[in-house]
Amino acid sequence: MCRKFYGQFNNIMSVLGKQSNEMSTVSLIKTYCLPTLLCGCEAWTLTDGSLYKLNTAWNNCFRRIFSCCWRESTQPLQFYCKSLPIYLLLDQRKLILWMKMYRSNNIVLKTLSGVTYYELLATCSKYSIDVTDMSENIIKQTIWKVFSHTVGADL
């Protein structure tokens, strides 16, 4: 997936050239490349090495788009572009899928949501999200607040 992601990213960058608008480029990357990188991530169990590769791919995009140093953190750039780091995107997508399965009228989906209940309960507690009040907007807002506090502490 990383190779396909880099291929799509490089295609977009070669078409846009060096004089492109950074925000437009980020929007294109989020629309066309990020889904490839995260395809099926809700079902993944990642090792530290796999998470590192995904994180590196996502961070390298921001470094190349904004022509910044390869050793600098990309979190301020991601914050500015309203983009989450990969580890937060993964948690967000898992929580949203679980919430949709749990609230579904389909008995199979409800049963599957019960299988992963304790894993998702741990993820919810990491972000102080109440399982009973969970909605897609609350999940997104809460995870964004966690990220913005992290970036604010680093600035």
The pTM for the full model equals 0.87
- Are 13 and 62 in contact by the 8 Å Cβ rule? The answer is no
Indicate whether 18 and 76 sit together in one domain.
Answer: yes
Check residue 111 and report its DSSP letter: H
For 12-34, write each residue's pLDDT tens digit: 999 998 778 999 999 999 999 99
Which residues, at least 6 apart from 100, have a Cβ–Cβ distance to it below 8 Å? 109
Alpha-carbon distance of 145 to 107, in angstroms, equals 34
Range of the domain at 142: 85-155
Indicate whether 106 and 51 sit together in one domain.
Answer: no
Indicate whether 130 and 141 sit together in one domain.
Answer: yes
For 96-121, write each residue's pLDDT tens digit: 999 898 888 999 988 888 887 888 88
Question: If we measure between CA atoms, which residue out of 61, 62, 96 comes closest to residue 79?
Answer: 62
Indicate whether 76 and 100 sit together in one domain.
Answer: no
